[in-house]
């Protein structure tokens, strides 16, 4: 079965004004769809054609001869994960055990916010900022291009896409404003908790 573009978990205009329907129509409908199409073309008639997406990512992550497959598979996964990291009227502080764990790891929610934002702003060029679980510890990391925590033995809990196509139509070069909007108005903390408990 070929891989398909998963449906968005909300209407195309649900994240306005923080992310416009125009941005989502290009980002989801064009960029994400292109990664799905490219992946299917690259794995057609190969021994990994029938594997689940995560297995394809793990099998190709360290193989220089399969970087094209890895990049497209990882971007399909990254984008699907990113859409689920957001919701209308999201953002702000999490609650309960998750907030306790964030405070334990980063001393305060504000310190978490600043560290996550700094990771997003200092990712040179295209990439991702992540909250991950790494060997039982909450950490913030960043990856370039299509790279993702799964390829490094870490569990992704939250991500912010800092490729320019994620924000340029709405924010132009103001990546910091986009990251602020993501953290204060969009984060789906219940999805983060679900990943934590998986």
pLDDT one-digit tens code per residue, 35-60 = 999 999 999 999 999 999 999 999 99
Q: How far is CA 157 from CA 28, 35, 48, 137, 145, in A?
A: 21, 22, 27, 12, 18
DSSP character string of 127-142: EEEEEEEETTEEEEEE
Sheet holding 155-161, edge to edge: 137-144, 127-134, 155-161
Q: What is the b/e burial string over 134-173, where b = at least 16 CB atoms within 10 angstroms of the residue's CB?
A: eeeebbbbbbebbbbbbbeebebbbbbbbbeebbbbbbee
For residues 183-195, average pLDDT: 97
pLDDT of residue 70: 97
pLDDT of residue 193: 96
Is the pLDDT confidence value at 176 over 90?
yes
pTM of the model: 0.96
For residues 104-131, average pLDDT: 97
Please state, in angstroms and rounded to a whole number, the distance separating the CA atoms of residues 109 and 100: 9
Residue 133 β-bridge partners? 138, 155
Looking at the chain, the whole-number percentage of residues with pLDDT higher than 70 is 99
Listed residue (126, 120, 128, 125) closest to 179, CA to CA: 120
Neighbours of 127 (CB within 10 A): 23
Neighbours of 19 (CB within 10 A): 24
Q: What is the pLDDT of residues 59-95, one digit of tens each?
A: 999 899 999 999 999 999 999 999 999 999 999 999 9
pLDDT of residue 163: 97
Is the pLDDT confidence value at 1 over 70?
no
The whole-chain average pLDDT of the chain stands at 96
Is the pLDDT confidence value at 198 over 90?
no
Please state, in angstroms and rounded to a whole number, the distance separating the CA atoms of residues 111 and 192: 18
Confidence category of residue 197, pLDDT binned at 50, 70, 90: confident
Q: What is the pLDDT of residues 136-165, one digit of tens each?
A: 999 999 999 999 999 999 999 999 999 999
Domain architecture of the chain: domains with CATH: 21-84 (1.10.287.990), 96-197 (3.55.40.20)
For residues 8-25, average pLDDT: 97
Tokens at 21, concatenated: 């329907």
């Amino acid at each position: 079965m070929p891989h398909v573009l998963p449906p968005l978990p909300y209407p195309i205009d649900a994240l306005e004004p923080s992310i416009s329907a125009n941005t989502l129509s290009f980002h989801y409908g064009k960029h994400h769809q292109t990664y799905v199409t490219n992946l299917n073309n690259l794995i057609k008639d190969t021994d990994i054609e029938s594997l689940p997406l995560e297995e394809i990512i793990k099998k190709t992550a360290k193989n220089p001869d399969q970087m094209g497959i890895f990049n497209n598979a990882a971007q399909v996964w990254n984008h699907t994960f990113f859409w689920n990291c957001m919701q209308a009227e999201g953002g702000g502080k999490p609650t309960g055990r998750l907030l306790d764990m964030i405070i334990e790891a980063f001393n305060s929610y504000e310190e978490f916010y600043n560290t996550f934002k700094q990771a997003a702003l200092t990712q040179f060029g295209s990439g991702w900022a992540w909250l991950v679980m790494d060997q039982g510890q909450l950490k913030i990391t960043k990856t370039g291009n299509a790279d993702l925590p799964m390829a490094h033995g870490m569990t992704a809990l939250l991500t912010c896409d800092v490729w320019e196509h994620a924000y340029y139509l709405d924010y132009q070069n103001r990546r910091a404003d986009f990251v602020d909007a993501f953290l204060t108005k969009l984060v789906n903390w219940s999805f983060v908790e679900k990943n934590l408990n998986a």
